[in-house]
Structure 1
Amino acid sequence: MTGNIIAKITHGSRLFGTTTEKSDVDIKTVFVPGARDILLGRISTSNRDGTSNVMGKNTSDDTDQDNHDLIKFMRLVEAGSPEGFELLFAPDHAHLVPPSSTWRTLQARSNEFIHADLVPFERLIRKTSTIVQVGEVEEDAARKICTLLYKLMEGTGRKKSVSPHIDDIVAAVGDPKIVRRDVREGRDGTSHDVLAIAHKAVPVDESIGFAFKLANSIATEAAANQARKTLAPEQWKHLSLAVRLSSEMIELLQTGMLTFPRPEREFLYEVKVGNVSMENVKDRLDLLAARIADAKQATSLPLLPNKETFENFVVEAHFDVVAEEFKGFDRSP
């Protein structure tokens, strides 16, 4: 990393309040390059330092440090990345060095950068909560769909669109919580009709063969979930992450800010160490999913980020560095 550090923040379990005896140290820094590097375009957007254990899992003796230049950091926030918002709202006690005036300005103007386009949150929630999102009910529904789609492929063809058969598929299952026609928002702001099956979705214009593969994968996944007697430590950690991200997303949509350590940290810790039943976690995630849907409808945040606002902040910060460093610079030969 080169340049001036504007923020150095303890991240991970120590920020969230879920540290265990095995937790390593996660540090995130944000920096502004030096004036010469800015003018010459020598900007390293991200790099990593630390003592990560490349031969296995990190231990409490290891430190991971990710370094982002200001452009990269602002792109994280603009993209709706959990990491970007977590760093932006990290409290003073999480800062390992005093925040710079640039960071303080960024915090003071945070309302200009907060938005409701939180697709990365939803993507990570789906990915990390898969273990408890599908079980016996979802398996039965997916197998009914597979049977129906298999018959359709025999008479209609594998490559035909699933669209004309959506209503029949939904009716065959009869549980809109598991299978329904739905609308998903794309990152470009457009809406897309989909057939939602458990936690996954098929665009309505996709082929019957594609829908069959998806339903079959859900049935297989559900069967594997039911066969598990216990979860691995990493799986419990993923479920804790799903709960945390869900809670963070709700708070952002409702208040435009995040609280650290997390208010739900005791429950997050119990999930992380495997002291909560999978059914309890599933119930919590179902409740949080409903609250997310309500929060998305009621939020007063801008629906999309203002790209120009983000770019202007970076330009201003870079200009200040160049102006200060080259103040009185003699350009004569």
Structure 2
Amino acid sequence: MKFGSHLYGTATPQSDLDIKAVYLPDARDILLQRVKPSVNIVREKSRGEKNTAEDIDFEAYSPAKFLDLLAEGQTVALDMLFAPADMMLSTPDPVWSEIKALAPRLFSRKTTAFVSYCRQQARKYGVKGARLAAVRLALDGLTAIEDSYGANTKLGVAEAEIRDLAASHDLLDIVVLPHPDGNPATYFDVAGKKAIFSASIKGARTMVQNLFDEFGARTRAAEDNQGVDWKAMTHAVRIADQAIEFLDTRQITFPRPNAAHLLAIKRGEIPYASVAEEIENLLTEVEMAVARTTLPETVDRDQIDDFIVDLHQQIVSG
């Protein structure tokens, strides 16, 4: 099937062609346990070289891999699932209809991976005043704490001051999360960025300084629209819109109903600040959609195993 911008309705004369598929493994690979999760065919390019309109990128997933991606709520699988008939480059095997029949039983509120993506994009592109104010407050506070305790002192030594700082703004917080070593660890959360208490005060202050500088760069980008990754911002808006539609209706429409708007973003015709604000507002709508969705809490993944066992038995038996 055609994928990417051709599926979304945002293709331009410069767009390459992305093709996605689900392939049926042969009996030999099944018996030898050599079924590849995915197969990729792309033109070999030099370092930094981008695709041209003549390029065709092909990727095919095994049924097991595709169903796993679907159960995780990965956008690539959801986009493929809801691709309309006119995107198909050949008549699908009957197995595709069986996969589509199984798919709705693999949807759940815990498998909408794109929600996490939306949150990441809002943090990446957002330039709202509240977030900038929180970062500035944290930077000023950590600078003062560093002056008092010394650069190499552990952040946790100044826990009392950090807790006072965290209490001063909604986007500052103290959180306890699992550490890679398996033990709980305490972090100072600054607008989504986290500094572990075992790090030095200087390390935490540097992290927040970098975040503050990053906000400054975004603000300058908002002012002059320079150095903006418009394709990435288009992707962020599209994914958020799709997330809301899917959470509310369990469907995704292609091409996207707002394809003209997405194209305008892609071409840089809308000011950066407006798109950044749109992304942040869309995140709020996504969170509301998550709260109201009727999707079940979990998925019975045994359904995937049962489907793959039956499919492989059919292929092996001929």
Instruction: Identify if the C-alpha distance between structure 1 residues 25 and 54 changes in structure 2 by more than 3 Å, giving closer, same or farther.
Output: farther
CA displacement 1:36-61 (0-9 Å, x = unmatched): 21011121222211436445111111
Q: Does 1:47 align with 2:43?
A: no
Amino acid at match of 2:309: V
Superposition RMSD in Å: 3.0
Q: Does 1:69 align with 2:62?
A: yes
Residue equivalent to 1:331: none
What pairs up with 1:184-223 in 2 under 5 angstroms? 196-198=189-191, 200-202=192-194, 207=199, 209=201, 211-223=204-216
Q: Does 1:151 align with 2:147?
A: no
Please list every run of 5 or more consecutive structure 2 residues that lacks an aligned counterpart in the other structure: 178-184
Retained in 2: the 8 A contact 1:52–1:64?
Answer: no
Amino acid at match of 1:313: F
CA displacement 1:185-241 (0-9 Å, x = unmatched): xxxxxxx9976533x2427866564643432221011112223333346x0000000
Amino acid at match of 1:27: I
Distance 2:175 2:289 in 1: 18
Q: 1:117 Cα shift?
A: 2.5
Residue equivalent to 2:164: 168
Residue equivalent to 1:293: 287
Amino acid at match of 1:264: N
Q: Does 1:88 align with 2:84?
A: no
Instruction: Identify if the C-alpha distance between structure 1 residues 303 and 52 changes in structure 2 by more than 3 Å, giving closer, same or farther.
Output: farther
User: Which of 21, 28, 50 matches 1:29?
Assistant: 21
TM-score (norm 1): 0.80
Please list every run of 5 or more consecutive structure 1 residues that lacks an aligned counterpart in the other structure: 1-8, 185-191, 326-333
Q: Does 1:10 align with 2:17?
A: no
Retained in 1: the 8 A contact 2:38–2:65?
Answer: yes
Residue equivalent to 2:225: 230
Q: 1:294 Cα shift?
A: 0.8
Residue equivalent to 2:180: none
Q: 1:62 Cα shift?
A: 0.9
TM-score (norm 2): 0.84
Q: Does 1:264 align with 2:261?
A: no
Retained in 2: the 8 A contact 1:136–1:222?
Answer: no
Higher mean displacement: 201-210 or 87-96: 201-210
Instruction: Identify if the C-alpha distance between structure 1 residues 207 and 262 changes in structure 2 by more than 3 Å, giving closer, same or farther.
Output: same
Q: 1:268 Cα shift?
A: 0.9
